[in-house]
Amino acid sequence: MTEKDFIPKSYPAQVEQGEVTWQSPSNIALVKYWGKLENQIPANPSISFTLDSCRTTTTLKFKKKQQRADNFHFDLSFEGEKKESFRPKIQKFLERIDPYLPFLRDYDLSIETSNSFPHSSGIASSASGMSALALCLMSLEKQLNPEMNEEYFTRKSSFLARLGSGSACRSIEGDLVVWGMHNNIYRSSDLYGVPFRDEVHDNFKNYRDTILLVDKGEKQVSSTVGHDLMNDHPYAEQRFRQAHDNLDKLKKIFRSGDLDEFIKVVESEALTLHAMMMTSQPYFILMKPNTLAIINKVFKFREETGLHLCFTLDAGANVHLLFPEKEEEKTLQFIENELKQYCQNGQYITDRVGSGAKKLA
């Protein structure tokens, strides 16, 4: 499919007003997306586990205007309160998706959104937030075009979510999603996420992700700035090639169930992401002393127990701890007894792999 396939020709139905609600999860990348070209095209393919309990719920209310206007009209509230600071991001999102949803300026929109995870926990809410909003807008488009099939609905939701925040396109479906062209991944695309359809060993079913909240402050580097650091980065080409190779490796690992090899790829991806930031101009160190303390404890725990706990990081100091369902009891005990002390206010979130977004109303 190309971008043009997402431009609608005409709408057979009329819709005066209504409301829809979607709940969409966050996701955690195993091979990281870091670096992009124009129009949110990723510089390399990525793969993520879709999460389950870290979610955004969004209700979209829409009412047809008397007359189509030049501007978008929308109200925004977050957790029950008007949120002016989110407006520029949503405005930009609506501008970007306007060619693909030409009805947007025909409606007064009201967007009510809330997160299941603690406010300003340093957890990126853009993936769950942008995917939930994209799905709501697609539900309106489906009312205007009731013939739309499910596959197109899902693809286009992911396509639109990507224009809001790249990684958001991996939050529509579960449980493993690939985004970005890769020679050995069936139907992979730079335009939207696709579910990973190859064989996946039972070891990876219901995988756990416990998120340690090390630093709940504002992000030190926004993702826009972060991705830009990869332009003219001395190691960029090598890094993009490595992401392709790591996806090939993971494909084999998912089939064989080899947890030791899984750990090697996933931890190396996390450290490479941070290495890219440490070796760019300007350079950034996003880990905190507690991030490193946790990583060292994870190494030690693995050595002592032979269990398969591993870490990954996004562009920040918080640590995602990934482990198999079978090892949950001992691992959670270890987190509670030995890692909680490194979290701000002792806070962490226990999550697991989930099946994607859900329509609530």
The CB-of-42 to ligand PMV minimum distance in angstroms stands at 8
Stretch that binds ligand PMV, among 30-38, 66-74, 188-196, 320-328 (CB under 6 A): 30-38
Query: What is the SS3 string spanning the chain?
Result: CCHHHHCCCCCCCCCCEEEEEEEEEEEEEEECCCCEEHHHEECCCEEEEEEEEEEEEEEEEEEECCCCCCCCEEEEEECCEECHHHHHHHHHHHHHHCCCCCCHHHEEEEEEEEECCCCCCCCCCHHHHHHHHHHHHHHHHHHHCCCCCHHHHHHHHHHHHHHHCHHHHHCCECCEEEECCCCCCCCCCCCCEEECCCCCCHHHCCCEEEEECCCCCCCCCCHHHHHHCCCCCCCHHHHHHHHHHHHHHHHHHHHHCCHHHHHHHHHHHHHHHHHHHHCCCCCCCCCCHHHHHHHHHHHHHHHHHCCCCEEEECCCCCEEEEECHHHHHHHHHHHHHHHHHHCHHHCEEEEEECCECEECC
Q: Is 311 in the site for ligand PMV (CB under 6 A)?
A: no
In the list 90, 101, 315, 353, the residue contacting ligand PMV (rule: CB under 6 A) is 315
Closest to 58 in 3D by CA, of 361, 352, 353, 354: 361
Could you tell me if residue 43 is left (phi over 0), alpha (psi between -120 and 50 degrees) or otherwise beta?
alpha
CA angle centred on 158, ends 21 and 26, rounded to 5°: 65
Q: Is 29 in the site for ligand PMV (CB under 6 A)?
A: yes
Q: In terms of CB distance, is 126 or 290 closer to ligand PMV?
A: 126
Q: Is 318 in the site for ligand PMV (CB under 6 A)?
A: no
Q: In terms of CB distance, is 140 or 160 closer to ligand PMV?
A: 160
Q: Is 178 in the site for ligand PMV (CB under 6 A)?
A: no
Window 84-113: residues binding ligand PMV (CB under 6 A): none
The CB-of-222 to ligand PMV minimum distance in angstroms stands at 8
Instruction: Read off the tokens for 182.
Output: 């890769």
Q: In terms of CB distance, is 140 or 230 closer to ligand PMV?
A: 230
Per-residue mark of binding to ligand PMV, 142-171 (x: CB under 6 A)? -----------------------xxx----
Q: Is 126 in the site for ligand PMV (CB under 6 A)?
A: yes
CB neighbour list of residue 295: distance below 8 Å, 6 or more residues apart: 311, 319
The CB-of-346 to ligand PMV minimum distance in angstroms stands at 25
Q: In terms of CB distance, is 104 or 276 closer to ligand PMV?
A: 276
Q: Is 240 in the site for ligand PMV (CB under 6 A)?
A: no
Rounded to whole angstroms, the Cα distance separating 195 from 176 reads 6
Number of residues that bind ligand PMV (CB under 6 A): 13
Q: In terms of CB distance, is 168 or 298 closer to ligand PMV?
A: 168
In the list 59, 314, 319, 357, the residue contacting ligand PMV (rule: CB under 6 A) is 314
Q: Is 223 in the site for ligand PMV (CB under 6 A)?
A: yes
Q: In terms of CB distance, is 30 or 140 closer to ligand PMV?
A: 30
The CB-of-22 to ligand PMV minimum distance in angstroms stands at 18
Q: Is 32 in the site for ligand PMV (CB under 6 A)?
A: yes
The CB-of-51 to ligand PMV minimum distance in angstroms stands at 12
Stretch that binds ligand PMV, among 26-34, 238-246, 337-345, 346-354 (CB under 6 A): 26-34
The CB-of-211 to ligand PMV minimum distance in angstroms stands at 13
Q: In terms of CB distance, is 103 or 179 closer to ligand PMV?
A: 179
Q: Which residues bind ligand PMV (CB under 6 A)?
A: 29, 32-34, 46, 124, 126, 165-167, 223, 314-315
